[in-house]
Structure 1
Amino acid sequence: MRLRIDLAYDGGDFRGWAAQPGLRTVQGELTTALTTVLRLPEEAQVTCAGRTDSGVHARGQVVHVDVDPEVSKTAARQVTQLEVLARRLNGFLPRDVRVRRVTEAPAGFDARFAALWRRYAYRIVDDPARVDPLTRNHVLSWPRALDVAAMDQAAGTLVGLHDFAAFCKKREGATTIRTLLDFGWTRAEDGMLVGHVRADAFCHSMVRALVGCMIAVGEGRKEAGWAAEILTGLRRDPNVVVVPAHGLTLEEVAYPEDAALAARVELTSARRSGTEVEG
């Protein structure tokens, strides 16, 4: 059977999601926990909705894992008591990773390819008087005031289906064409700037490059139309700074109704074969 795991983590002490030999990763911790708690004879194979980069956080990561209850009595017992399984996983996992829930995935579900969209948030404080040392690992402290209206205007020019090569770290054989569904900036009552960006998928470093572009506009160094000019360049622009990872959080992943899952997987697999989504 296939299990869906909704996951949250503080990415500060991880070298990203993807397992890497000798490095601490979210995938590595979750795989070890599943394999141990379910007493599986082989290492659990997990698939996530978005392979977040080193230092990126998540509140709404989604993962799937296939478990054969016949393999072990422990697995057979716990896959029928998924709330207990979630508690046991949290008892094994380090405190910077939390399983929010475990459910049996519907037929056709795939955490990566069935996703309709991913939503990230990037948080910035641009007033030294409002910098909170308690949130320093999750919010970017920026030394100069930013014009949120100009940033929001610039962000709006990038919405739609485009080739985001100018904002991505190119990978061999991977497409940089993405559909940006929403991108906007607001200033909260406490003065924090929050950029929300939602897309069908993101290529490597794309979100942080987009934010870097918006900061240049917010400081007044560039006009709002500069973002669209960069987009048409179709190659990585050295003037676009990739901001630090710690201000970025994967907030939510959305999926279609159960009946439409298989069709979504087929469509996405064909369109993104060989590509990766990132944080």
Structure 2
Amino acid sequence: MPRIRLDLAYDGTFFSGWAAQPGLRTVEGVLAAALATVLREPVRLTVAGRTDAGVHAAAQVVHLDVSPEAWIALPGRSERRPETALLTRLAGVLAREAQESLPLTPRGAGDVVVTGARIVPDAFDARFGALSRRYTYRIADADAPRDPARRATVLWLPDRLDVQAMEASTAPLLGEHDFLSYCKPRQGATTIRTLRTLTWRRAAGGPDAGLVVLSVVADAFCHSMVRSLVGAGLAVGQGRKPVSWPGELLGARTRDGAAPVAPPHGLTLEEVVYPDDDDLAARAERARATRRLTC
């Protein structure tokens, strides 16, 4: 069976997270239903990052296995490649679903867009094969411009944040640690993660000019970890906690007095990085050996 990698982006505002849940509109549920309609067979999706309700993605990755018959049948009588036919047909199905679920949606504009589709080696695993994930959190504080068109993707705060103090608080968090104080642990899951970069800055230019922006990269993130890192940074930036507090909280390794969880809508999954094809199987096996039931 061909294994297919899909790259997608979505506005998480009106989704109850990634994972399918009975009676709720979720990204997985909407995408799986659209794929089943187009392929005419049920699908099982494996995702790189299981985002929470209200969290967005600019570069999410999933994989699925498709029967050869369904894959070959995608172009119909056209001369399009199956990948192109899949993208075109998914765009229409996803746009119609959004218009039916969200009456104010502009015609043809869905809140999930599949940006790429291609056959990958059988060893490719969207979840366990990833080398790293990168998230961004955007904040408009008292010194930042406020764009109403971006209010669903930027946290607005009335305070003036001390970005220098926020950046100074990050050093103890880098590297491999038990992030229990920053996670909502799941049964059977490890909370040990390797945080590769964590930076707070006030953007000097580009579309984020003036905003306070967190950029964080890790091998993987446990449940609510990024939003808890944001919450700890905000406590420092607002003067409610000293610069040393995020590191002290990490060392406590307890849910007592854990970091506050920031609102979801400022958070976006920006990038997922994978190894070269020759290293896919080895990477996935190592990840499975060290993590269970992780985000």
1:207 pairs, out of 223, 226, 230, with 226
1:70 partner SS: helix
What's 1:68 paired with? 67
Does the 8 Å CA contact 2:18/2:50 hold for their aligned counterparts?
yes
CA 1:252/1:34 → structure 2, altered by over 3 Å: closer, same or farther?
Answer: same
2:68 partner SS: coil
Distance in 1 between residues matched to 2:171 and 2:87, nearest whole Å: 40
| 263-272 vs 216-225, greater mean Cα deviation | 216-225
1:98 aligns with 2:116: no
RMSD of equivalent CA atoms? 1.7
Alignment of 1:67-216 (within 5 A): 67-70=66-69, 74-75=73-74, 80-94=81-95, 95-127=110-142, 130-189=145-204, 190-216=209-235
Gapped runs of 5+ residues in structure 1? none
Does the 8 Å CA contact 2:131/2:274 hold for their aligned counterparts?
yes
CA 1:83/1:234 → structure 2, altered by over 3 Å: closer, same or farther?
Answer: same
CA 1:129/1:63 → structure 2, altered by over 3 Å: closer, same or farther?
Answer: closer
1:249 partner SS: strand
Runs of 4+ in 1 over 3 A off after TM superposition: 75-80
TM-score, with structure 2 as normaliser: 0.89
Does the 8 Å CA contact 1:31/1:44 hold for their aligned counterparts?
yes
Does the 8 Å CA contact 1:126/1:145 hold for their aligned counterparts?
yes
| 180-189 vs 236-245, greater mean Cα deviation | 236-245
What's 1:248 paired with? 267
CA 1:269/1:76 → structure 2, altered by over 3 Å: closer, same or farther?
Answer: farther
Distance in 2 between residues matched to 1:253 and 1:225, nearest whole Å: 30
Does the 8 Å CA contact 2:232/2:260 hold for their aligned counterparts?
yes
Gapped runs of 5+ residues in structure 2? 96-109
2:247 pairs, out of 228, 232, 245, with 228
What's 2:287 paired with? 268
The percent identity for this pair of structures is: 54
1:122 partner SS: strand
Query: How big is the shift at 1:237?
Result: 3.9
Distance in 1 between residues matched to 2:113 and 2:258, nearest whole Å: 38
Return the letter of the residue paired with 2:23: G
May I ask how many residue pairs the two structures share in their alignment?
274
1:270 partner SS: helix
TM-score, with structure 1 as normaliser: 0.94
2:199 partner SS: strand
1:108 partner SS: coil
Query: How big is the shift at 1:131?
Result: 1.7
1:143 partner SS: coil
| 256-265 vs 167-176, greater mean Cα deviation | 167-176
Distance in 2 between residues matched to 1:49 and 1:159, nearest whole Å: 22
Provide, for residues 154-189 of structure 1, a one-character-per-residue CA deviation record: whole Å limited to 9, x for no partner: 122201000000011121111100000110011113
What's 2:7 paired with? 6
Return the letter of the residue paired with 1:156: A
Distance in 1 between residues matched to 2:188 and 2:167, nearest whole Å: 32
